[in-house]
């Protein structure tokens, strides 16, 4: 899932300064699971933001709250149209990930949209309250070659032929809290009996599938609606 | 505007609420600024309950739960303490003194301790002064004359409730004592 965390309240307060009516919009998908932008967090931020505005002497700005199922899909974003029109809102603060913020901006071209979260990474819940990065979305997944541990995401140097000389007792040199990805790869490969895969040097990664050529697009022609073509 | 602080006390049914009851039975004196809200357990507390209290003008909030290790639901009071800590961080972030929110632990036999907690909190709030978030008409000033539904702490409709609500305390608490 996409993992995010909330911006500091003074930063959000300053972003929405100058607007009369602001709608805080939560997202019921990834950011709900990582406790950053779901219905509960929207309620907490709404309350805190209203107080922060009043404490800063701003008694004019109204902050309301709502949460939709998914901010990155038009079908759900459409549900906001009526709400924003009826409420007379002149700005939206999205508690979705960066994709959610931009989906709202595309759907409401005349409305200023502000991000309430800092989108961090694609990751998993490591333990209660702790999320860790697992995937860099490089567009060319080679986990099969590395015993299902991603060196691009989890090795600080992104080495494809590791480990480096700074791997100590299974930890990375940048932090004693960080496992050396290549130690994990080695341990897992040994347990699976596939250590011989590392006899050969791994060639450089093909980054042309990454952010190299600008924003990426995935098209499934068989799923596109006839006559409409892939959406720009 | 009155300078008397208004304190909300979220009290666990199994300890602090009973301790408050005991303080009353013992005829102990403590400041009348406190409004007690009973919870089945302090584990029922959510961060937004605490923020809502401050947003509506409470000068201070007490969360009073069972002694650590003595929660009827095993760890409700431990979870409450972490939520209170998070709410205190949020208060500091928005510029309101976190000292306005405190959590205490006590047993149901500690009526004097309840009186002491309320007294200590009210003294602390007098030192801090009124909350800058107080509405123009503070609910502590004229609850009897406040128009229903318009104050920061809206009163229920005059015919509420027609029938006594179900209560976790059972028959002992089933009568309408208003």
A1 and B CB contact within 8 Å: no
Pairwise pLDDT comparison (A210 vs A125), residue with the higher score:
A125
Q: What is the largest CA-CA distance in chain A?
A: 68
Residue B157 has pLDDT above 60, yes or no: no
B72, part of any domain: yes
**Tens digits of per-residue pLDDT, A167-223?**
999 999 999 999 999 999 999 999 999 999 899 999 999 888 887 778 999 999 999
B48 and A CB contact within 8 Å: yes
CB contact under 8 A, A51 and B54: yes
Mean pLDDT of B169-174: 50
Q: Which of A164-178, B1-15, B35-49, B55-69 has the lowest mean pLDDT?
A: B1-15
Domain extent at residue A87: 2-121
A130, part of any domain: no
Do A8 and A96 share a domain, yes or no?
Answer: yes
A9 interaction partners in chain B (CB closer than 8 Å): 90, 93-94
pLDDT tier for residue B137 given thresholds of 50, 70 and 90: low
Domain extent at residue B43: 7-141
Shortest Cα distance, chain B CAs vs residue A40, angstroms: 8
CB contact under 8 A, B96 and A51: yes
Q: How far is CA A108 from CA A64, A76, A80, A83, in A?
A: 18, 13, 10, 12
Question: Residue A61's Cα: distance from chain center in Å?
Answer: 29
Nearest CA in chain B to A50: B55
CB contact under 8 A, A47 and B93: no
Do A113 and A171 share a domain, yes or no?
Answer: no
Q: How much is the pLDDT for A29?
A: 96
Phi, psi of B98 (to 5 degrees): -65, -20
Mean pLDDT of A117-143: 95
pLDDT tier for residue B138 given thresholds of 50, 70 and 90: low
Residue B104 has pLDDT above 60, yes or no: yes
| Entry pTM | 0.85
Do A9 and A102 share a domain, yes or no?
Answer: yes
B37, part of any domain: yes
Q: What is the CATH number of the domain that holds A44?
A: 3.40.50.2300
Do A101 and A170 share a domain, yes or no?
Answer: no
B94 interaction partners in chain A (CB closer than 8 Å): 9-10, 48, 51-52, 55
Q: What is the CATH number of the domain that holds B103?
A: 3.40.50
In chain B, the number of structural domains is 1
**Tens digits of per-residue pLDDT, A71-105?**
999 999 999 999 999 999 999 999 999 999 999 99
Mean pLDDT of B78-89: 97
Do A112 and A12 share a domain, yes or no?
Answer: yes
H helix or E strand, kind and range, residue B121:
helix B111-128
B24 and A CB contact within 8 Å: no
A183, part of any domain: yes
């Amino acid at each position: 899932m996409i993992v995010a965390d909330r911006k500091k309240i003074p930063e959000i307060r300053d972003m929405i300064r100058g607007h009369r009516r602001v709608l805080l919009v939560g997202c019921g998908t990834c950011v709900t699971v990582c406790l950053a932008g779901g219905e509960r967090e929207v309620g907490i931020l709404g309350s805190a933001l209203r107080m922060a505005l009043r404490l800063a002497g701003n008694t004019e700005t109204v902050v309301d709250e709502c949460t939709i199922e998914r901010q990155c899909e038009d079908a759900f974003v459409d549900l906001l149209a009526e709400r924003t029109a009826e409420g007379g809102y002149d700005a939206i603060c999205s508690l979705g990930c960066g994709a959610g913020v931009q989906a709202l901006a595309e759907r409401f071209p005349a409305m200023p949209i502000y991000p309430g979260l800092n989108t961090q990474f694609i990751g998993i819940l490591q333990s209660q309250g702790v999320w860790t990065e697992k995937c860099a979305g490089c567009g060319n997944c080679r986990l099969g070659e590395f015993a299902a541990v991603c060196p691009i995401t989890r090795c600080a140097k992104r080495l494809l032929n590791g480990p480096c000389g700074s791997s100590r007792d299974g930890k990375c040199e940048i932090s004693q809290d960080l496992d050396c990805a290549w130690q994990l790869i080695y341990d897992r490969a040994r347990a699976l009996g596939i250590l011989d895969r590392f006899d050969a040097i791994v060639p450089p990664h093909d980054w042309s599938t990454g952010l190299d050529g600008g924003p990426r697009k995935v098209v499934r022609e068989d799923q596109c609606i006839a006559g409409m073509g892939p959406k720009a | 505007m009155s300078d008397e602080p208004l304190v909300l006390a979220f009290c666990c049914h199994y300890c602090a609420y009973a301790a408050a009851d005991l303080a009353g039975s013992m005829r102990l004196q403590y400041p009348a600024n406190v409004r007690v809200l009973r919870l089945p357990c302090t584990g029922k507390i959510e961060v937004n309950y605490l923020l809502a209290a401050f947003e509506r003008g409470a000068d201070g909030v007490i969360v009073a739960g069972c002694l650590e290790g003595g929660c009827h639901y095993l760890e409700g009071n431990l979870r409450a303490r972490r939520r209170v800590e998070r709410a205190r961080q949020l208060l500091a972030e928005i510029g309101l003194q976190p000292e306005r929110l405190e959590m205490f632990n006590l047993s149901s036999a500690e009526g004097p301790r309840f009186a002491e907690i309320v007294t200590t909190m009210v003294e602390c709030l007098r030192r801090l002064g009124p909350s800058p978030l107080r509405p123009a008409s503070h609910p502590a000033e004229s609850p009897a004359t406040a128009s229903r539904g318009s104050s920061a702490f809206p009163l229920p409709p005059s015919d509420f409730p027609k029938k006594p609500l179900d209560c976790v305390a059972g028959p002992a608490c089933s009568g309408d004592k208003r």
